[in-house]
A and B are shown apart, each in its own frame.
Chain A
Amino acid sequence: MHLSSRVTAVLSAPPSLPAMTSSASHRRPAGASVPDTTATRVLAGLLAGALLTAVALPARHFATEGEARDSFPFSHYPMFSARRSSHYRVAHLLGIDAEGRSRPLHHSYLGTGGLNAVRRQVRRRVRDGDGQHLAEHAAALLAARDRAEDRGILEVRMVRGRYRLDTYLRGGDLEDCTERLQLVGAASVPGRPAIVPDAGR
Chain B
Amino acid sequence: MSTLLHRVADAARRHLAPSASPTAPALLRLAVGGYHLWHVGKRRSLYRGVHRTATESFDPVGVARVLKRPLPPRLADALLDASLVTGALFTAGIGHRVTGPLHAALQTWNFSYRNSWSMVFHHENNLLLHTMVLGAAPAADALSVDALVRDRTLLPRRHSWMYGATPTVMNAAVALTYLLAGLAKLTGADGMRWASGASLRSHVAVDALRKELLGESANPLVRVLGPHTGLFTVMAVGSLVLELGAPFALVDRRPGRLFAVGAFSMHWGIKVIMRITFPYNLSGVLYLPLVLMPPPERR
In the complex, the answer to whether B210 meets A113 with C-beta atoms within 8 Å is no
Per the bound structure, the CA–CA distance linking A124 and B62 in Å amounts to 21
Which of B4-12, B19-27, B31-39, B76-84 makes up part of the contact surface? B19-27
Q: Please, which residues of chain A bring their CB within 8 A of the CB of B176?
A: 52, 55-56
Beta-carbon contact of B226 and A14 below 8 Å: no
Of B22, B108, B202, B212, which one neighbours A165 at CB under 8 angstroms?
Answer: B202
- Docked Cα-Cα span, A98 to B136, in Å, equals 62
Q: Complex formed: what's the CA distance from A58 to B181 in Å?
A: 11
The answer to whether A17 and B188 have CB atoms under 8 Å apart is no
Find chain B residues with CB under 8 A from A8 CB.
294-295
A154 and B259 CA atoms in complex are apart in Å by 53
Q: Are B120 and A71 in contact (CB under 8 A)?
A: yes
A104 / chain B contacts, CB cutoff of 8 Å: 212-215
- A188 to chain B minimum Cβ distance, whole angstroms, is 19
Given A83-B189, A117-B118, decide whether A32 and B210 contact each other with a Cβ distance below 8 A.
no
Asked if A115 CB lies within 8 Å of chain B CBs, one says yes
Report whether B214 and A73 are in contact in the complex, using a CB–CB cutoff of 8 Å.
no
Between A47, A81, A106, A107, the greatest number of chain B beta carbons within 10 A of the residue's beta carbon is seen for: A81
Question: Taking chain B's interface residues, is the majority helix, strand, or loop, or is none over half, making it mixed?
Answer: helix
Is B212 within 8 A of A119, CB to CB? no
Which single member of B49, B57, B61 contacts A70 (CB below 8 Å)?
B61
0 or 1 for each of A50-94: is its CB under 8 Å from B? (1 = yes): 011001101100110000011111111111111111101010110
Most buried by B among A12, A73, A107, A169: A73
Is B219's CB within 8 Å of the partner chain A?
A: no
Q: Judge if A42 is at the interface, Cβ distance under 8 Å.
A: no
Q: Are B21 and A14 in contact (CB under 8 A)?
A: yes
In whole Å, how far is B273's beta carbon from the nearest beta carbon of chain A?
12
Task: Return the contact of A32 from the options B115, B155, B163, B172 (Cβ within 8 A).
Answer: B163
Closest-by-CB residue of B relative to A174 is: B212
Chain B residue with the shortest CB-CB distance to A114: B46
Q: How far is the CA of A73 from the CA of B131 in the complex (A)?
A: 12
- For window 17-55 of A, CB contacts with B under 8 Å fall at 17, 28-34, 36, 44, 47-48, 51-52, 55
Does A118 contact B146, Cβ atoms closer than 8 Å? no
Give chain B residues whose Cβ lies under 8 Å from the Cβ of A93.
215
Chain A: interface size category: 35 or more
Asked whether A82 and B188 contact (CB < 8 A) given A30-B156, A44-B162, A72-B112, the answer is yes
Q: Tell me if A196 is interfacial: C-beta within 8 Å of chain B.
A: no
How many A-B contacts if CB must be within 8 Å?
247
A169: chain B residues within 8 A (beta carbon): 201, 204-205, 222-223, 226-227
- A58 to B119 Cα, complex, angstroms: 17
- Distance in Å: Cβ of B235 to nearest Cβ of chain A: 11
Q: What residue of chain B has the Cβ atom nearest to residue A130's Cβ?
A: B56
The reply on B152 being an interface residue by CB < 8 A is no
Cβ–Cβ contact A117 & B119, under 8 A? yes
A51 to B131, CA, bound (A): 12
Determine if A7 is an interface residue (Cβ-Cβ < 8 Å).
yes
B206 touches A88 (CB 8 A): yes
Contact pattern, B 133-166, Cβ under 8 Å of A = 1, otherwise 0: 1001010110000100010000111111111010
A31 and B119 form a contact (CB under 8 A) = no
Q: Are A12 and B294 in contact (CB under 8 A)?
A: yes
- 13 further A-B pairs in the complex, CB-CB below 8 A; given A69-B61, A72-B125, A75-B120: A11-B24, A14-B159, A84-B206, A88-B206, A107-B216, A113-B50, A114-B46, A115-B210, A115-B216, A118-B214, A121-B53, A168-B208, A174-B213
